[in-house]
Amino acid sequence: MITQTDPSVSPNTPGMDAVKDKLKATWMDGDYASFARFMEAGAIQILEGWAIAPGTELLDVGCGTGQIAIPAARAGVNVTGVDIATNLVRHAQGRARMEGLEAQFMDGDAEDLPFPDASFDMVTSLIGAMFAPQPDKVAAEFARVCRPGGRLRMANWTPQGFVGQLFKVIGKHVTPTPGVVPYSLWGDEDTVLQRLSGNFRDITLTRKRYPLWRYPFRPEGVVELFRNYYGPTTRAFSAVGQKGEEALRRDLVEVYKTFNKATDGTTWLDSEYLDVEATRI
């Protein structure tokens, strides 16, 4: 899985181009629209907690298929969504058209956002921009496009939570991309403070549990769903090949069982994230 790059890797080298190409291909693999529908109820709860007023000029970075951008637009927020995965952007555009919403969606790199300075009242990212390979560039872009006094809200998986452990297991079976460090540092308080404190004030960091992440089948079935629909897991199974897939599946099932709160033959994933709130200086 592509995570964050070592600072020794120049963003202008062919190596960085390859990292970004792999990142894009990973998130375009599988069927994220089908995968994300199990998380959308929880995403809406997080969005409601962020209390975005109607008329706010909002940029949603790593918007995926519109999990929070579409509901925000329904509530009267002026939404622009960007994502590196073209197929996810097209899906979000289709949803907006079907509902007659004015939300705008476009291809975009969190490290090089295609907007003028101070374009937005608020910047959000729900489990999205944290996967970009150059986190300092992401933080700088958030600050650049956010108006003075504007708000930043992020939800980022923590290293200790379910998704952090999921990728730790994948890393045992699939050789990590050279020159990268764990994406989940976006879920570490000290690291986030370091990245944001130069351009943001009133930074509040709160560990929370992702709400309503449920599946109507056992962890073994959830692993298969992730394999078929969630790009990083799809790629991991492809990388290990037929000989390694049983060991990968076994270790993944153990992680899902560990973080399963349900006791009735279904799966309710208990996944910790870091809620980030800050104000642009």
Residue 19 lies in a domain: yes
pLDDT at position 212 is: 93
Residue 97 lies in a domain: yes
Residue 149 lies in a domain: yes
Rounded to the nearest integer, the mean pLDDT of the chain is 93
pTM for the predicted model, two decimal places: 0.93
pLDDT in tens, 118-159: 999 999 999 999 999 999 999 999 999 999 999 999 999 999
Residue 52 lies in a domain: yes
User: What are 17's two structure tokens?
Assistant: 């181009």
pLDDT in tens, 38-84: 999 999 999 999 999 999 999 999 999 999 999 999 999 999 999 99
The total domain count for the chain is 1
CATH number at residue 80: 3.40.50.150
pLDDT at position 179 is: 65
Residue 258 lies in a domain: no
pLDDT at position 172 is: 94
Residue 83 lies in a domain: yes
Residue 262 lies in a domain: no
pLDDT in tens, 149-173: 999 999 999 999 999 999 999 999 9
Residue 101 lies in a domain: yes
pLDDT at position 15 is: 85
Domain that holds residue 17: 4-158+178-213+271-280
Q: Long-range pairs for 63-66 at CB < 8 Å and ≥24 separation?
A: 63/88, 63/89, 63/92, 63/105, 63/128, 64/32, 64/36, 64/88, 64/92, 64/126, 64/128, 65/32, 65/33, 65/36, 65/91, 65/92, 65/95, 66/91, 66/92, 66/95, 66/96, 66/103, 66/105
